[in-house]
Amino acid sequence: APAQIAVTGLAVMGRNLARNLARNGFRVAVHNRSQARTDALIEEFGHEGEFTPAADLPALVAALEQPRKIIIMVKAGEPTDAVIDDLVPLLDEGDIVVDAGNAHFADTRRREDALKAKGLHFVGSGVSGGEEGALNGPSIMPGGSPESYAALEPMLTKISAHVNGEPCCVHVGPDGAGHFVKMLHNGIEYADMQLIAEAYDLLRHVLGLSATEIADVFLEWNRGDLESFLIEITAEVLSQVDESTGGPFVDVVLDQAEQKGTGRWTVQVALDLGIPVSGMAEAVFARSLSGDVVRRTAAAGVLPGPSEAKADVDRDAFIDDVRHALYSSKLVAYAQGFDAIRAASDQYNWNIDLGAMATIWRGGCIIRARFLDRIKEAYDRDADLPSLLVDDYFKDAVTSGQDGWRRVVATAATVGVPAPGFSAALSYYDGLRAERLPAALIQGLRDLFGAHTYRRTDREGTFHLDWSGDRKEHQA
């Protein structure tokens, strides 16, 4: 029988996705630009299911039942366009092309437009969970037309991760919606990791705990609200001993974080949408700073720290404060992330179901966490929630943790340990809840130097003060 679906691009992700499909009983045609990967897949894993190896794209297309469903899993960017260009002339109206790589959602919108004009469906789909997830159940975020999703749904929901019997795969919305949400997922992942790193750094420098002691703290935290994949693997990394030195593994790793760009995209896009995503922005900037060897070398040991670099804190109380700082900052990062999804959904008419996005992320992906259920519940209670932070669960969590959170930020500043994620999140929280912000002064300044006008608290209208003349107010 002809294959039901095809995968082209058989590096770690594509190979594992193809195996996942085959293991779930689907007939999969497979192809890779260089044949060696196709051969290796068949040789090593051919027994796992019904694979049809294809030497080139025409053979891949010929192996499929119609309408054809072809997943592209190649390097994002130009390679994806190259594959699409080669593939499209071989397809017939109604065929479905899925890009499961990490495309920028603007590219996905462009490609969807181009293929739609040719009568083809283009589905930009986020896939998260790394190679392990691709094989055993990723979190899947498909965009594109409802018709194409209806055709793909039985396969995608079968191979995705499941939590409480529910698939971590929901149709996100038209055109670029799936890749947008995947990008946001990665942005939140950046923020999550930065906050975890700050918690570690503070426990190490303020309390002088060893890496293994901190691993135990994270294991303990993983039994509560913070329970998540990233907290769990933090304990694993921190307890790892380096073979050659016999010391903690974390101490021999160069402290320069790398990035592939999805965090940066998130922040760039959020700037355009006008949505503060300070948690993610600080995470991206912190990685950039870590990699800025020139300036770090010039400053380390040269720029002085505080005169008092010790904090007088109780060990257990401080650990608990850091837990609160981590959780509250994380709630802020997610609230900001969901604000960005809502804003994009409004701007591009995607009509995204925000609660469903939390469902997708509960399993399979890197940010999978117990607390995502709380987000789902919050949007079930009120689909139009203006900010996750005003939901009762979030409000109570921050209320009970905020004194500890404030002490942690104050301690970090006092002893000179950088905590940009914790402090930016706290500033956002305080900004959000403020009755009045100093933006009033900014408006005054703008009116003085540029006649940019201002509005009043007590009357409708737009005004300008004649700053250089009689200082009288005029209706603008």
Residue ranges binding ligand NDP (CB under 6 A): 9-14, 32-34, 37, 73-76, 79, 82-83, 101-102, 127-128, 130-131
DSSP string, 198-243: HHHHHHHHHH---HHHHHHHHHHHTTTTT-BHHHHHHHHHHHPBPT
Active-site hit among 69, 182, 330, 376:
182
Taking the CA atoms of 188, 193, 196 and 201 in sequence, report the sign of the dihedral they define.
negative
Query: How far apart, in whole angstroms, are the C-alpha atoms of residue 205 and residue 453?
Result: 49
Active-site hit among 112, 189, 198, 282:
189
For ligand NDP, the nearest residue by Cβ is 101
Sorted by sequence, the CB contacts under 8 Å of residue 153 that are 6+ apart come out as 169, 171
Pairing mode of beta strands 121-128, 139-142: antiparallel
Query: How far apart, in whole angstroms, are the C-alpha atoms of residue 176 and residue 453?
Result: 38
User: Which of residues 10 and 238 has its CB atom nearest to ligand NDP in the complex?
Assistant: 10
Contact 178, 313 (CB under 8 A): no
User: Which of residues 138 and 421 has its CB atom nearest to ligand NDP in the complex?
Assistant: 138
Query: How far apart, in whole angstroms, are the C-alpha atoms of residue 406 and residue 425?
Result: 11
User: Which of residues 128 and 234 has its CB atom nearest to ligand NDP in the complex?
Assistant: 128
Residue 80 CB, shortest distance to ligand NDP, in Å, is 7
Helix (H, G, I), strand (E, B) or coil at 319: helix
Q: Catalytic: 182?
A: yes
Residue 25: how many other CB atoms lie within 10 Å:
11
Residue 326 CB, shortest distance to ligand NDP, in Å, is 25
User: Which of residues 178 and 276 has its CB atom nearest to ligand NDP in the complex?
Assistant: 178
Residue 430 CB, shortest distance to ligand NDP, in Å, is 36
User: Which of residues 101 and 363 has its CB atom nearest to ligand NDP in the complex?
Assistant: 101
Closest residue by Cα to residue 128 from 305, 366, 409 = 366
Residue 141 CB, shortest distance to ligand NDP, in Å, is 11
Q: What angle do CA 347, 352, 354 make, to 5 degrees?
A: 120
Buried b (16+ CB within 10 A) or exposed e, 361-393: bbbbbbbbbebbebbbebbeeeeebeebbebeb
Residue 16 CB, shortest distance to ligand NDP, in Å, is 8
Contact 235, 222 (CB under 8 A): yes
Residue 182 CB, shortest distance to ligand NDP, in Å, is 8
Residue 114 CB, shortest distance to ligand NDP, in Å, is 18
Query: How far apart, in whole angstroms, are the C-alpha atoms of residue 450 and residue 463?
Result: 13
Sorted by sequence, the CB contacts under 8 Å of residue 56 that are 6+ apart come out as 31
Sorted by sequence, the CB contacts under 8 Å of residue 244 that are 6+ apart come out as 252
Q: Catalytic: 118?
A: no
Residue 129 CB, shortest distance to ligand NDP, in Å, is 7
User: Which of residues 126 and 276 has its CB atom nearest to ligand NDP in the complex?
Assistant: 126
Query: How far apart, in whole angstroms, are the C-alpha atoms of residue 331 and residue 354?
Result: 15
Residue 338: how many other CB atoms lie within 10 Å:
24
User: Which of residues 46 and 418 has its CB atom nearest to ligand NDP in the complex?
Assistant: 46
Helix (H, G, I), strand (E, B) or coil at 460: coil
Query: How far apart, in whole angstroms, are the C-alpha atoms of residue 164 and residue 372?
Result: 13
Residue 32 CB, shortest distance to ligand NDP, in Å, is 5
User: Which of residues 168 and 335 has its CB atom nearest to ligand NDP in the complex?
Assistant: 168
Amino acid at 244: S
User: Which of residues 76 and 358 has its CB atom nearest to ligand NDP in the complex?
Assistant: 76
CA dist 361 to 2, 34, 129, 243, 418, Å? 33, 33, 10, 35, 30
Residues involved in catalysis: 182, 189
